Chain A
Amino acid sequence: EAQVTQNPRYLITVTGKKLTVTCSQNMNHEYMSWYRQDPGLGLRQIYYSMNVEVTDKGDVPEGYKVSRKEKRNFPLILESPSPNQTSLYFCASSFLGTGYNEQFFGPGTRLTVL
């Protein structure tokens, strides 16, 4: 089944404790992206990647890191999480860039930073 998977789905952590949210897609998509969703603010793009070893900042990259060493994986790293990073996070992927194709979304990761 074609899908985008994220792990973990739920995570409660404390300020400053490094964490990684994994994202994997099995559709051979070149493009992958991370978003965060907050009430009243909609979805905001954190980082995106056009292909392996190619990443760019989105609207709200501060406090996050990403890497794209393999085509199928695009992990989101929070080196020192803070409470303002409490949010619902989505990974998405698509062929080419957003100018051409729909994005497929993962199920989301609900992160709480205490």
Chain B
Amino acid sequence: SQQGEEDPQALSIQEGENATMNCSYKTSINNLQWYRQNSGRGLVHLILIRSNEREKHSGRLRVTLDTSKKSSSLLITASRAADTASYFCATDAQLVNNAGGTSYGKLTFGQGTILTVHP
């Protein structure tokens, strides 16, 4: 089943406006990460928020995490045309390996939000 699911699927705004994207997940997590992807290119890490954190900032980015609601949001303030891209949330999952231990090996991505910022 899909772990991280973004909302909305697509967002179109004018330069200077704020963009908010949401992510919901189903199981307990250790952290939640946001990535950006320009069309057809590799993903670039934006920000990581741990399960014991509620809010984190990085430049024009603000991420919140509500573990009780199993949701996160990414806010991009004062958007620019260069922010046009797809944005993905990703959650990790604890796994039990064959030896019965616990490994952190599975990063699950949502389907992404396509953000278009018009000049």
Contact = CB atoms under 8 A, between A and B. Distances in A.
Interface of A: 4, 31, 33, 35, 40-45, 48, 50, 56, 58-59, 88, 90, 92, 96-108, 110
B41 interface: yes
20 contacts: A42-B2, A42-B109, A45-B107, A45-B108, A50-B105, A88-B40, A97-B104, A98-B31, A98-B106, A98-B107, A99-B31, A99-B92, A99-B104, A100-B31, A102-B45, A103-B45, A104-B45, A108-B41, A108-B42, A110-B40
Given A42-B112, A99-B30, A105 B43 contact: yes
Given A33-B107, A42-B2, A42-B111, 19 more contacts: A42-B88, A42-B112, A44-B109, A48-B106, A50-B103, A56-B103, A58-B106, A59-B106, A96-B104, A97-B92, A97-B104, A98-B31, A99-B94, A100-B104, A103-B43, A104-B45, A107-B41, A108-B40, A110-B40
A56 B31 CA distance: 21
Nearest to A33: B107
Given A42-B88, A102-B48, A103-B45, A97 B112 contact: no
A97 B41 contact: no
Contacts of A105: 35, 42-44
Interface in B52-110: 88, 90, 92, 94-95, 97, 103-110
B22 interface: no
Interface of B: 2, 30-31, 33, 35, 40-45, 48, 88, 90, 92, 94-95, 97, 103-112
Contacts of B105: 31, 33, 48, 50, 56, 97-98
A4 to B, nearest CB: 8
B106 A45 contact: yes
Given A56-B103, A104-B45, A98 B92 contact: yes
Nearest to A40: B111
A103 B107 contact: yes
